[in-house]
Chain A
Amino acid sequence: MTHNAQRKLFIFVCLVPAFLFFCLFTIYPIVRGMYISLFDWSGSSEHMTFIGLNNFKALYEDPIVWKAIGNDYFLVVGKVIGIVLLATLFAISVTRLRIRGAAFYRLVFFIPNIISIVVIGVLWRFVYNPSIGFLNAFLSLFSDTPVKTPWLGDTGTALWSILWPSIWAGVGFYFLLLVAAILGIPASLYEAAEIDGASQATQFRRITLPLIWEQVKVSILHIVMTTLNGSFVMVLLMTEGGPDNATQVLGSYLYQMGFKQFHMGAAAALGVVILALSMLTTLVLQLLLRRDPVELS
């Protein structure tokens, strides 16, 4: 066997198993999901009836779907702004501003990432509990009558109440990512800037941000994708989409449709919608966030 053939064989052996598993566990389910979305199927019956695009048509006419899409993007925008701002602020604080106890904060901010999402959901449900929750008890300190706001039960506050824990739970990871990025910037750049009389704000704008932009971009994209695909966990844990569908997101509605209302076909169609929206959003963001690469030379 020639050297070249050996090399090819090696590459082949490395790639094929992973590719096969990828096909089996990612490509096949996606294709299968698309296929099922064309049928009227309860998810437990032997019989599937082909109905073409009728599932999509029904979703298009369903006001809850539109509300869920709106809620999804509310969470996306809220989380991107909240997490990126906070993570950047914290990262700058523990690196550039050299506050005391940086190591301590690094640990503390990361703790929510170690806790299981289920625990976070249950924990915050207790915080929001109208009569025995921490939040109302705290607010009651400042008022004469006990506060009994049902944070998760009011159409106006429910989705906001899901947003805060999501930000709280997510910030740690991106914080670490940005800290690592900032620490990778050579100190000499900052020294030179300081000699030239640049303020901290200018240093941030002209040195830090351009050099960590790739990481910020990755953070934003990652937050967008995980929110569109994963925000239903928080919703299911805290409100089950209620009250009266006020906090329904596409993922939770998919679960509701597929496993509680026995419309697996419609659920699969919702899955296809989520897939399409995720791809579209990421694509648009890729274009929007494109900047000329800044490189250290």
Chain B
Amino acid sequence: MTMKKGILVMLVTALVFLLAACGTNGNDNNKSPGTSESASGSPDGSTSASNSPEAIPTGLKGDFEIQYFVGGYGDAWWKDVIDQFQKLNPELNIKQSAGPKINDQMKPRWIQGNPPDVVYIDGSGSNPRQMVEDDQLLDLTDWIADAKNIDGEKLLDVMIAKPDEYNGSIYNIPLVFGSYGTFYDQALFEKNGWEVPQDYESFLALSDKIKASGISPYVHAGIYPDYILGGFLYPAIISANGDDGQILKDMGDMKEGVFKSEPVMKALNQLKEITDKGYIDPGAVAINHTDSQMMFLQHKAAFIPNGLWLESEMKKDAPADFKYGFVPSITQAKGGKFVALPYTSTMAVAKKAKNPETAKAFIQFIFTKQASLSWAEKTGALMNVKVDLESSSAGDTAKNAMKYYNSDNTIVAPVVVFNADVFKVMGDATIALTMKKITPEEWADRVEKAAAKVRK
């Protein structure tokens, strides 16, 4: 009997240890707010920094934690800027929480209300709109209105894409910039004497020719409707709306009736038209992005809607003579402007940040031309700060795209992050439309219903 008791005691102790292990974690968490008080006690570092170029944020103290996702862009740029920031603020205790799985790793901390101070939102499992809906991000509307970088330039002035608004408020600042567009192989086009389409009409005419030559004119990744939405449907909607991007914002805000409004219906009918004419590869609906990109590289399809990352993503698979060509959109009327549909990855300050002023100072510190150039060279992609890339070592696609964004003949559409439920229904319906399973009216019906359900 005593032995039994002994084992019971052992088990209980084991359990206590287990709980204690969880407990110490909690204690650690409690410690940090105390230390951060001292840091937030001297917030003037950042505010004075924005007033004059010399007042670079120095002398910041306390703990400062930054969470960033490490994916295709690597972490060289991050390490570099954080290092510089540390040198300016030697007494600041910077903690980097980074990695390819960081969103999952940090999730418990966000759920417990103990988030990092500043976060770069990217990678799977992250959705800025969801973070806003979960009330996790700090409202930056007033701050961003006149925040300046360390060179004394206003942040809003140097950005290519302006911050996304959620019902009028700004919570996150776009750091990475790129856009969807329609890609083609310049070499193939030159060989066949095909003219790059400048509008929808010439796209149709050329597609007819391409189809006659035995190649599918257009392929996309049916499993991930993001591509055809970003590369075809959204730009078409904006063109049909007289080049006014407000309609996309209204769609993002799920305003009643916007999904069956005239511009949307017009764009859907364009998609229906290229479907009916058989310009979309019949296999597109069943394939993912890599499959569709392989088909494009193998010249089984002439056009593909994709993002600026395409060139670097397919670096290893592209034939030697392949020359990436890019037009922002193919759905505009004759003489109409190109519509570049941007995608961004953003930065935000946690609502429960212990050191929000340092977080803001850090954002001001990194939104400079210098950092932007360094980003382009280190990652091959574009940072959301206007900069002349011609002399840099950035890739051809990036340089080519930058020319479009700087041109008067191109509109950069607003950045809109959709509600996940509405986006899912919209994607499904779009694929169903390209399968001729539903009509544009049914598309509108489905999406309106989904939006109504979310609005409730």
Residues of A within 8 A of B (CB): 1, 5, 8-9, 12-13, 16, 20, 42, 44-47, 125, 128-132, 148, 150-155, 158, 239-240, 242-245, 256, 259-263
**Interface band, chain B:** 35 or more
B112→A46 contact, CB < 8 A: yes
Q: Please give, as numbers and ranges, the residues of chain A lying within 8 Å of B282 by CB-CB distance.
A: 130, 148, 150
Asked whether any CB of chain A lies closer than 8 Å to the CB of B42, the reply is: no
Rounded to whole Å, the gap between the CB of A15 and the closest CB of chain B is 12
Q: Please give, as numbers and ranges, the residues of chain B lying within 8 Å of A244 by CB-CB distance.
A: 428-429, 431-432, 435, 437
Q: Which residue of A has the minimal Cβ distance to B434? A: A243
Q: How far is the CA of A263 from the CA of B125 in the complex (A)?
A: 13
Set A45, A153, A256, A263: member contacting B222, Cβ < 8 A: A153
Rounded to whole Å, the gap between the CB of B253 and the closest CB of chain A is 18
Q: A5-B1, A243-B222, A262-B420 are in contact. Are A153 and B283 (CB under 8 A)?
A: yes
A12→B4 contact, CB < 8 A: yes
Q: Please give, as numbers and ranges, the residues of chain A lying within 8 Å of B287 by CB-CB distance.
A: 129-130, 150, 153
Q: Please give, as numbers and ranges, the residues of chain B lying within 8 Å of A256 by CB-CB distance.
A: 424
Q: A45-B135, A131-B281 are in contact. Are A13 and B7 (CB under 8 A)?
A: yes
Q: Please give, as numbers and ranges, the residues of chain B lying within 8 Å of A154 by CB-CB distance.
A: 285-286, 435
Q: Please give, as numbers and ranges, the residues of chain B lying within 8 Å of A12 by CB-CB distance.
A: 4, 7
Give per-residue flags for B277-290: 1 if the beta carbon is below 8 A from chain A beta carbons, else 0. 00001111111000
Set B1, B223, B281: member contacting A242, Cβ < 8 A: B223
Asked whether any CB of chain A lies closer than 8 Å to the CB of B136, the reply is: yes
Asked whether any CB of chain A lies closer than 8 Å to the CB of B321, the reply is: no
Q: Please give, as numbers and ranges, the residues of chain A lying within 8 Å of B429 by CB-CB distance.
A: 244
Interface of B is mostly: helix
Interface of A is mostly: loop
Asked whether any CB of chain A lies closer than 8 Å to the CB of B262, the reply is: no
A1→B283 contact, CB < 8 A: no
Residues of B within 8 A of A (CB): 1, 3-4, 7, 11, 107, 110-113, 125, 127, 130-131, 133-136, 222-224, 281-287, 291, 294-295, 298, 300, 420-421, 424, 428-429, 431-432, 435, 437
Q: How far is the CA of A1 from the CA of B3 in the complex (A)?
A: 9
Set A155, A158, A262: member contacting B130, Cβ < 8 A: A262
A-B contact pairs, 9 of them (CB 8 A): A5-B4, A16-B7, A45-B135, A129-B286, A129-B291, A131-B281, A132-B294, A150-B285, A244-B435
A152→B113 contact, CB < 8 A: no
Q: How far is the CA of A245 from the CA of B429 in the complex (A)?
A: 10
CB-CB nearest 9 A-B residue pairs:
A130-B283, A153-B286, A153-B285, A45-B134, A152-B286, A150-B286, A244-B432, A261-B420, A150-B283
Set B11, B125, B294: member contacting A259, Cβ < 8 A: B125
A44→B222 contact, CB < 8 A: no
A44→B130 contact, CB < 8 A: yes
Q: How far is the CA of A7 from the CA of B398 in the complex (A)?
A: 75
Set A46, A125, A158, A245: member contacting B111, Cβ < 8 A: A46
Q: How far is the CA of A125 from the CA of B11 in the complex (A)?
A: 50
Q: Please give, as numbers and ranges, the residues of chain A lying within 8 Å of B285 by CB-CB distance.
A: 150, 153-154, 242-243
Q: Which residue of A has the minimal Cβ distance to B124? A: A259
Q: Please give, as numbers and ranges, the residues of chain A lying within 8 Å of B110 by CB-CB distance.
A: 44, 46
**16 new A-B pairs (CB below 8 Å) besides A47-B134, A132-B300?**
A8-B4, A44-B110, A45-B135, A46-B110, A46-B113, A130-B286, A131-B283, A131-B295, A148-B283, A150-B286, A150-B287, A158-B286, A240-B223, A242-B222, A243-B222, A244-B431
